[in-house]
């Protein structure tokens, strides 16, 4: 499946089918993240159920600490 993630076209593995799986794939599942699919913000409570489809435009914003 091919999606546009943060402006970059990415081919996702077959096992990545939900927002939660996507965040685990990119190792940001334990961070605070905001996910938008096709310009709609996905509530965190829906990450496990919200499916990702071929061609979706996904924006992921997560917070990075630093000093």
In a domain, 47, yes or no: yes
Which CATH number fits the domain that encloses residue 26? 3.10.20.30
- Of 7, 3, 6, which is closest to residue 16 (Cα–Cα)? 3
pLDDT tens digits along 25-50: 999 987 889 999 999 999 999 999 99
Domain count, the chain: 1
The partner residues of 11 in beta bridges, in order of sequence, read: 2
pLDDT tens digits along 4-27: 999 999 999 999 999 999 999 999
- Binned at pLDDT 50, 70 and 90, residue 64 comes out as confident
CA within 13 Å, CB half, 46? 11
- Looking at residue 63, what is its pLDDT? 78
pTM score > 0.85 for this model? yes
In a domain, 18, yes or no: yes
Q: Is the pLDDT of residue 67 over 90?
A: no
């Amino acid at each position: 499946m091919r999606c546009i993630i943060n402006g970059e076209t990415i081919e996702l593995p077959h096992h990545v089918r939900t927002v939660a799986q996507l965040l685990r794939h990119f190792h940001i599942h334990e961070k605070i993240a905001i996910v938008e699919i096709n310009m709609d913000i996905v509530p965190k409570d829906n990450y496990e159920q919200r499916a990702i489809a071929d061609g979706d435009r996904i924006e992921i914003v997560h917070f990075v600490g630093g000093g």
